[in-house]
Amino acid sequence: MAILVSSRGRAPRRRTSARRIAGMSVTHLVLLVGGILWLFPLLWTLGSSLKSDNGFFAKGLNPLPDGLHVSNYSNAWQEASFGSYFLNTVVVSGGTVILTLLATSMAGYVLARTRFPGRKVCIGLVSVTLFLPHGYTIIPIFDLIREVHLLNTLWAVIIVQASTGLVFSTFLFMGYFSTMDKGLEDAAKVDGASFNQTFFRVMLPLSGPMIATVGLFTFISAWNSFFIPLVFTLSKSNLRTLPVGMYAFLGENSTQWTFVAAGSVITLVPIVVIFLLLQRYFVNGLAGAIKG
């Protein structure tokens, strides 16, 4: 009798294990296909950047190049002034990251760790601005930048670009600072630290994961931004950033698509490298913000 019960008990377990394995196999297959489809545009762009002009049209959607035409990268760098555009993009992205981190970290700390009259009203008003489309605000911002004589300068792009992500980044910092132990501030007060000293010397250095997260979000947004650099540097081609400079390849009668693909790869490389370097801090920062 014991042998019969044991054999009957094993059969359902085996069927359950087989179903589980089959389910995991189907899930992995679906994820694999989805991953390939998601990566295909990137692989096609990378392959197209190494094709010849004839090979680009002959190959179609085939990502494999007809040869290694590395000269597409040097031609893209020289013919479209990618060197100056690259430097402008680095300046704009770096300045935007610094300005955003400084402003949002202080705002997030105040909203998370202090209680003052009208705090909830302030958070509500800030939240409302998160849903305002850029199209409704670009005209008054343009007029303001023109009045302060910053039009057609990289400073204008940095200031406007930083302002677009202030609300979201502030809430990220607020969520992260709200999870930190209050004993840290109490210990700093006992040692005679002021409010500002507590923030800059204690709380800010401990928020490294969130700094990396906000910095990465801001850098990607500023690096890929097209509309703002186009509007505020419209009359000065030497101030173009990489996304705006890509249009140098688009002619009225013909377009050098292999150069466009090479330029796209050049534009993507810094983002991929920085993301790989900050990936661990990025995940920890998001986890801390969501927990808060």
Q: Rounded distance, CA 269 to CA 236, Å?
A: 26
pLDDT range class, residue 12, cuts 50, 70, 90: low
Amino acid letter, 206: L
The pair of structure tokens assigned to 53 is 């002009």
pLDDT tens for 155-172 read 999 999 998 888 888 888
pLDDT range class, residue 287, cuts 50, 70, 90: low
- Contact present, 189 and 68 (Cβ < 8 Å): no
Average pLDDT, the chain: 81
State which H helix or E strand residue 282 sits in: helix 257-291
Neighbours of 58 (CB within 10 A): 11
Residue 93's pLDDT is 93
Residue 284's pLDDT is 63
pLDDT at residue 263 above 70? Answer: yes
Domain ranges of the chain: 2-38, 73-291
pLDDT at residue 61 above 90? Answer: no
- Residue 61's SS3 state is coil
- Contact present, 171 and 243 (Cβ < 8 Å): no
pLDDT tens for 118-144 read 788 888 877 777 777 766 778 888 888
Which H, E and C letters describe 179-246, residue by residue?
A: CCCHHHHHHHHHCCCCHHHHHHHHHHHHCHHHHHHHHHHHHHHHHHCCHHHHHHCCCCHHHCCHHHHH
DSSP characters for 104-121?
A: HHHHHHHHHH---TTHHH
Q: 73-291, what's its fold?
A: MetI-like fold (1.10.3720)
Percent of the chain with pLDDT over 70: 86
Q: Would residue 149 be called left, alpha or beta, if left means φ above 0 and alpha means ψ between -120 and 50 degrees?
A: left
Angle between helices 71-79 and 82-113 in degrees, nearest 10? 80
pLDDT tens for 31-49 read 888 888 888 888 888 888 8
Residue 103's pLDDT is 92
